[in-house]
A = this chain, B = another copy of it.
Amino acid sequence: MSSTEPERHHAMAVNRRIVLAARPHGEPKPGDLRLEEVPVPQPGPGEVLLRTKWLSLDPYMRGRMSDAKSYAASVEIGAPITAETVGEVVASNNPDFKVGELLTAFAGWQDYFVTDGKGSRRVDPQAAPPSTALGILGMPGMTAYTGLLNIGKPKAGETVVVAAASGPVGSLVGQIAKLKGARAVGIAGGPDKCRYLTEELGFDAAVDHRAPDFAEALARACPQGIDVYFENVGGAVFEAVLPLLNDFARIPVCGLVSAYNLTEVPPGPDQRPALMRMVLTKRLHIQGFIVWDFAAQAEEFRREVGGWLKEGRVRYREDVVDGLEKAPEAFIGMLKGRNFGKLVVRVAP
């Protein structure tokens, strides 16, 4: 059996993994996550052993660290943090997968992972850099594509606003909005990210949410109001967007990163009735989604965005961190907006 040698090779190796030590209260602290070393797992019949090369860090992982009810199960205490990865097959007991191939998997924050390959997809390193399978051609890209097109439905001439706009979801939202003939306005933290949006990605305007006159600057950037607001962040950005919404505006709700670390219900006044009144008088359409709600569109997404990428019509940026042990710090920084581009960890060369 061809897999015997690599299996043996890894049998004595160590699997480093980062597990949930304690449920974070508010902002995760380094002590909430623990690096530990365990034996490399062995693939059983029909299974393969993957060595993680690329690990994706995404805001949704903060939710998995909580035990609040959500659309997905929480990470259990002592278990590795959830994450999608690109790994190399280093041992295979499954004729469908050969040693040396690259596969996506939900391996979590660890070096090695055993899978039967269900739900994995082959990554062709010739077609695009493998890490893009975690970014523009992966879950973040598909989140942007499906949420914007199914719920946001931008029309030519409309104004599309997206927050966290230099991130992997937001940057594609704005670029697709442009491809559909809409005006794209990005919100990002700091002048470098804003410059990147307008100068490199072709956004029509970019607004720095850290600027003291943020709300006024957003209003100036949207002289015709807002028709689509792709919600990634909540909080003060949502507050500034609300008065600018046009009648019949659509709000795909993809994330609320500003609220993920909240530990208390914010003080009053209660803005919920005012929001509902605005929903009524402006005929707003607010809809939450996660990418898996549109799983049936995965092929279409990869074909269309893959095509745009090849043709140079969409671009992406990665923020690469080297070494699994750096994942916790990078993740905590991401929740504060410290990354610039899709945050990925290069776990193995």
Contact = CB atoms under 8 A, between A and B. Distances in A.
A152 to B, nearest CB: 13
Given A71-B247, A247-B71, A279 B286 contact: yes
B268 A238 contact: no
A288 interface: yes
Nearest to A289: B283
Nearest to A238: B276
A273 B287 contact: no
A295 interface: no
B293 A288 contact: no
Interface size class of A (residues with CB under 8 A): 35 or more
Closest 4 CB pairs of A and B: A268-B268, A265-B269, A271-B272, A280-B288
Interface in A262-314: 262, 265-290, 293
Interface string A249-272: 000011110010010011111111
Copies of this protein in the assembly total 2
A276 B232 CA distance: 11
Given A283-B287, A283-B289, A275 B272 contact: yes
Contacts of A234: 273, 276
Nearest to A71: B281
A201 to B, nearest CB: 25
Contacts of A278: 288
A70 interface: yes
Interface in A106-134: none
Contacts of A288: 278-285
Nearest to A272: B271
Contacts of A293: 283
A235 B235 CA distance: 23
Nearest to A286: B286
A256 B277 contact: yes
15 contacts: A69-B281, A235-B273, A256-B276, A259-B273, A265-B268, A266-B268, A266-B269, A270-B271, A272-B272, A279-B286, A284-B287, A284-B288, A285-B285, A285-B287, A286-B286
A266 B270 contact: yes
Interface in A42-99: 69-71
Contact of A270 (B69, B255, B270): B270
Count chain B CB atoms within 10 A of each CB in A235, A269, A273, A285 and give the residue with the most: A273
A174 B278 CA distance: 25
A211 to B, nearest CB: 23
A301 B280 CA distance: 22
A267 B265 contact: no
Given A71-B281, A283-B293, A274 B265 contact: yes
A229 to B, nearest CB: 12
Contacts of A279: 253, 286-288
A213 B290 CA distance: 35
Contacts of A254: 280
